[in-house]
Amino acid sequence: MQLSPQPFLGLMSSSITHASTSALPCELVVPMASSDDAFHAVKNRSALDWWFSQPDLQLKNSPRKAIETATDNGRTFVLGWWLKAFQSGRIHGLGYYENIMARTTLALHQDYEDRGREKADDSWGMREYLRILTLSAATLIGVCIEPCILQRWLDHAERLAAKSGLPVQDHFPSYTMATIHRASYWGRTDAIDWWLSVSDTLELRYSPHRAVELSVMCPHTYPSTLKRWNDTVNLRLTGTS
C-alpha cells in the first residue's frame, strides 16, 4: 500500500544535514531568544551596550539580578555602567537594593584588607547621585563592623546634609541596637570606638547590659571588649556604676 504524502510538521534535528540547512526557508530558522540569565551574567560594558541596542530583546526582569551578580563578583566597572545609564535616562527604576548594598559594603571592606586602598571606582552607593530610599534597619549598617566603611557612609551622609540642611542622622542609613551589639559580640573594639567617637553626630543605640552580655558570649572570648566598655561607657549594672 502506498502512503499518501503527509503535511510537513517539522524536521527532527537528526534529519538536518549541513548541506540541507542552506535550503531551508527563513521561517524554519529558530529565532534568537533573549535570555535573562545570559544578560544578568554580562561582565563587559560593550556587551551591555549591545543588549540595550536590540529593540527585539525584551528583558523581563529589572536590573536587580545583574547588579547583584556584578556586586558578588566585584565588577565595579559594571556597577558604574548601570549608574551612568540611570543618570542619563537610558534605564529607569534603578534603586538601592538592601541585600546588594549589604554585600557591597562587605566587598569594599575585603578590598581594604586585600589591597589596602579604596576601589578605583567608588561611585556606586557612596556618592550623592542617588538618594537612599529603601534601606531598612539592621540591613546595611547592621552587617558592618568595619570603621573604614562606617566612616565612608558617614562622609556620604555629611555631604547630603550639607546640601539639604537636615541633620546628618537623617541621611545616615538606618540602624538598630543590633549594630553596636554585633561589634561587642565579635570583639570589635575598633568599631565600638568609632561609634563612641561620632556620638555627637549619630545617636548611640545600644543596651549597656546587652553589650556586656554579648562581650562575654563572644566565641573567641575577647576580654579587651569588656575592658573597652568599662573604660569608655558608664555602665549601670545592678544599679551601680
pLDDT at 220: 56
pLDDT at 186: 78
Length of the chain: 241
- Give residue for cell 570603621: 147
Domain segments of the chain as ranges: 35-143, 171-236
Per residue of the chain (241 residues), give pLDDT as tens: 444 443 333 333 344 344 444 444 444 344 444 455 666 667 677 787 877 777 665 555 557 777 777 766 667 677 778 777 777 777 776 665 555 665 565 555 454 444 433 444 444 444 333 333 333 334 567 767 778 778 888 888 898 899 889 999 988 877 888 888 888 877 888 888 999 999 999 998 888 888 877 777 765 555 565 566 665 555 444 444 4
User: 3-state secondary structure string, the chain?
Assistant: CCCCCCCCCCCCHHHCCHHHHCCCCHHHCCCCCCCHHHHHCCCCHHHHHHHHCCCCCCCCCCCHHHHHHHHHCCCHHHHHHHHHHHHCCCCCCCCCCHHHHHHHHHHHHHHHHHHCCCCCCCCCCCCCCCCCCCCCCCCCHHHCCCHHHHHHHHHHHHHHHHHHCCCHHHHCCCCCCHHHHHHHHCCCHHHHHHHHHCCCCCCCCCCHHHHHHHHHHCCCCCHHHHHHHHHHCCCCECCEC
User: Which residues, in sequence order, are CB contacts of 178 under 8 Å at separation 6+?
Assistant: 138, 142
pLDDT at 9: 35
Residue 51 is placed in which grid cell? 543588549
Q: Is 19 left (phi over 0), alpha (psi -120 to 50) or beta?
A: alpha
pLDDT at 213: 79
